[in-house]
């Protein structure tokens, strides 16, 4: 099946600098429609659509909104997560560059639904080049009478700030370290007020759902993964870029048919904390039931070295660990160190056991998703490419390769 552009429908079609072109493409019609509905009805529609978060975790969007709506208090916030720091992801950048207006409309509808008057877009520092475009889109949208005040907050360079509670710490002005949970943001989030935080792409789906109805939306996808997903494809492919596919589409279609990969050895799905799958799994459907993440797809061909890739992935995670909890702080360091040894051909038999034990400990005891999922590339590569580790075990002073 070819691409299906629901989220990206306006990209390359409208002029992102000019709201008139957006209004001519049904822009703000969903927001107008939503305001004729009771907020609870808007939330019902999002729930019925089966929309799940596109930022990686796949939490049901409508449920999150409902929790925030029902939380007591007049002061509530909406946050759009545009921190996009995962290795190999650039789809939110593509969306912001090409269609900031749909995102803003999605934020306005979210604010109406949960009862928030203030919203923030948290934009990573690396995307400062998009700030003027986005600022202009926000002010043009405000001129159309949006009730919610949308403010753009820029990050300052830290991968972990994409994690929702770390992001809130950062907006509040502190170190971007994850918080202990509960409480969860819909109860107590930004400045301890009820807050919903959603990924850029999640919010892009909202105007489509409101305008066309939950029934229309939930026709596409699989049982537990409705709608489409926007993927960022990079690495050993002929045509790197952003592709939108119906959820449940096979990995092969994306990587080989669309992006033009050849001689694939493995694919890293979901970035540094994501899964690593061998070519034999190329027909795996991409969905929340199987493998998805935030849509980062890095393709490695047969010339690539597994250990090198896993080592670099763990090195990244060790660098970006915020250091608040020791399983992650120490665990990522220790894993990177062991992998460096294998990379040099100086691995030891017992190191593999240590890696496996660290992986288990980290996944159950780390505080946030970074540390919990950091062992994934290690455990996946040990499962599918164990012989690559074996080849790097030092044998009586002689390196076998």
Partner 1 sequence: MSKVATNPENLLARLKQAQDRLGYLPEECLAEVARSLNMPLSEVYGVATFYSFLSTRPLGRNVIRVCKSLPCYLKNSRMIVESIEDKLGIRPGGTTPDGRFSLALVNCIGACDIAPAMLINHDVHGDLTPRKISRILQSYE
- Which residue, 100 or 270, has its beta carbon nearer to ligand SF4? 270
Closest CA to 82 of 64, 60, 118, 55: 55
- Which residue, 92 or 177, has its beta carbon nearer to ligand SF4? 177
Among 1, 57, 354, 399, binds ligand FMN (CB under 6 A): 57
DSSP string, 50-90: T-B-SSSS--BHHHHHHHHHHSS-S--EEEEEE---STT--
160 contacts ligand SF4 (rule: CB under 6 A): yes
Q: Containing H/E element for 299?
A: strand 296-301
Query: From ligand FMN, partner 1, ligand SF4, none, which one binds at residue 10 (CB under 5 to 8 Å depending on kind)?
Result: none
DSSP string, 100-164: HHHHHHHHHHHHHHHT-SEEEEEE-GGGGGGHHHHHHHHHHHHTTT-SSEEEEEE--S-GGGGSH
54 contacts ligand FMN (rule: CB under 6 A): yes
179 contacts ligand SF4 (rule: CB under 6 A): no
Query: From ligand SF4, ligand FMN, partner 1, none, which one binds at residue 21 (CB under 5 to 8 Å depending on kind)?
Result: none
Length of the chain measured in residues: 401
367 contacts ligand SF4 (rule: CB under 6 A): yes
- Which residue, 177 or 343, has its beta carbon nearer to ligand FMN? 177
393 contacts ligand SF4 (rule: CB under 6 A): no
- Which residue, 267 or 328, has its beta carbon nearer to ligand SF4? 328
Tell me how crowded residue 263 is: count the other CB atoms within 10 A of its CB.
Answer: 10
Tell me how crowded residue 148 is: count the other CB atoms within 10 A of its CB.
Answer: 19
Count of residues engaged in binding partner 1, rule: CB under 8 A: 51
Which residues inside 68-87 make contact with partner 1, applying CB under 8 A?
84-87
Q: Segment contacting partner 1 (CB under 8 A): 49-57, 208-216, 235-243, 368-376? A: 235-243
Backbone torsions φ then ψ of 278, nearest 5 degrees? -80, 165
66 contacts ligand FMN (rule: CB under 6 A): no
324 contacts ligand SF4 (rule: CB under 6 A): yes
CB of 258 to partner 1, least distance (A): 13
Two tokens, residue 187: 């109860």
- Which residue, 229 or 392, has its beta carbon nearer to ligand FMN? 229
186 contacts ligand FMN (rule: CB under 6 A): no
Q: How many CA atoms lie within 13 A of 279 on its CB side?
A: 11
323 contacts ligand SF4 (rule: CB under 6 A): yes
Query: From partner 1, ligand SF4, ligand FMN, none, which one binds at residue 329 (CB under 5 to 8 Å depending on kind)?
Result: ligand SF4
CA distances from 131 to 11, 82, 128 (A): 18, 12, 5
Count of residues engaged in binding ligand SF4, rule: CB under 6 A: 15
Distance CA 69, CA 53 (A): 17
Q: Segment contacting ligand SF4 (CB under 6 A): 13-21, 199-207, 306-314, 366-374? A: 366-374
Which residues inside 129-168 make contact with partner 1, applying CB under 8 A?
129, 149, 151, 154-159
Tell me how crowded residue 112 is: count the other CB atoms within 10 A of its CB.
Answer: 19
Distance CA 294, CA 50 (A): 17
Asked whether 331 and 362 are in contact (CB, 8 A), the reply is yes
Query: From ligand FMN, partner 1, ligand SF4, none, which one binds at residue 371 (CB under 5 to 8 Å depending on kind)?
Result: ligand SF4
CB of 69 to ligand FMN, least distance (A): 16
Asked whether 148 and 79 are in contact (CB, 8 A), the reply is no
Stretch 153-172: interaction string toward ligand FMN, x if CB under 6 A: -------x-xxx--------
Two tokens, residue 352: 């593999």
Burial 279-291 (b: 16+ CB within 10 A, else e): bebbebbbbbebb
370 contacts ligand FMN (rule: CB under 6 A): yes
Distance CA 392, CA 382 (A): 13
**Which residues are near partner 1 by CB under 8 A?**
84-90, 92-93, 117-118, 124-129, 149, 151, 154-159, 170, 172-176, 191, 232-236, 240-242, 268, 298, 300, 304, 309, 312-313, 316, 319-320, 322
Residues found near ligand SF4 in the complex (CB under 6 A): 160, 177-178, 321-325, 328-329, 366-368, 370-371
Binding site for ligand FMN (CB under 6 A): 53-57, 59, 81, 83-86, 160, 162-164, 197-199, 202, 368-370
């Amino acid at each position: 099946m070819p691409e299906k552009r629901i989220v990206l429908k306006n990209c390359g079609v409208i002029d992102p600098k000019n709201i008139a072109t957006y209004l001519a493409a049904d822009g703000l019609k969903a927001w107008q429609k939503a305001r004729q509905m009771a907020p609870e009805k808007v939330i019902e529609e999002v729930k019925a659509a089966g929309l799940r978060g596109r930022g990686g975790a796949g939490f049901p969007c409508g449920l999150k909104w409902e929790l925030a709506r029902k939380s007591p208090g007049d002061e509530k916030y909406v946050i759009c997560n545009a921190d996009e720091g995962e290795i190999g992801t650039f789809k939110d950048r593509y969306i912001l560059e090409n269609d900031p207006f749909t995102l803003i409309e999605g934020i306005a509808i979210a604010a109406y639904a949960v009862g928030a008057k203030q919203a923030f877009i948290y934009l990573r520092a690396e995307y400062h080049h998009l700030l003027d475009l986005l600022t202009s889109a926000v002010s043009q949208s405000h001129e159309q009478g949006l009730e919610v005040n949308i403010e753009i907050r820029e990050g300052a360079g830290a991968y972990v700030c994409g994690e929702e509670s770390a992001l809130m710490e950062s907006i509040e002005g502190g170190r971007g370290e994850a918080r202990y949970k509960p409480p969860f943001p819909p109860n107590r989030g930004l400045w301890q007020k009820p807050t919903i935080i959603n990924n850029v792409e999640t919010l892009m789906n909202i105007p489509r759902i409101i305008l066309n109805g939950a029934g229309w939306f939930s026709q596409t996808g699989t049982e537990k993964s409705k709608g489409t997903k926007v993927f960022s494809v990079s690495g050993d492919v002929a045509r790197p870029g952003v592709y939108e596919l119906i959820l449940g589409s096979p990995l092969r279609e994306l990587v080989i048919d669309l992006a033009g990969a050849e001689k694939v050895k493995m694919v890293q799905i979901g970035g540094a904390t994501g899964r690593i799958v061998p070519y034999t799994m190329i027909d795996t459907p991409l969905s929340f039931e199987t493998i998805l993440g935030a849509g980062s797809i890095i393709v490695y061909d047969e010339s690539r070295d597994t250990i090198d890739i896993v080592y670099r992935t763990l090195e990244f995670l060790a660098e970006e660990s915020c250091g608040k909890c020791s399983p992650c702080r120490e665990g990522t360091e220790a894993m990177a160190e062991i992998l460096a040894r294998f990379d040099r051909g100086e691995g030891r038999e017992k190191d593999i056991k240590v890696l496996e034990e660290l992986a288990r400990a980290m996944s159950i005891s780390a505080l946030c998703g970074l540390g919990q999922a950091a062992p994934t590339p290690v455990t996946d590569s040990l499962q599918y490419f164990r012989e690559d580790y074996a080849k790097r075990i030092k044998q009586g002073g002689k390196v076998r390769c």
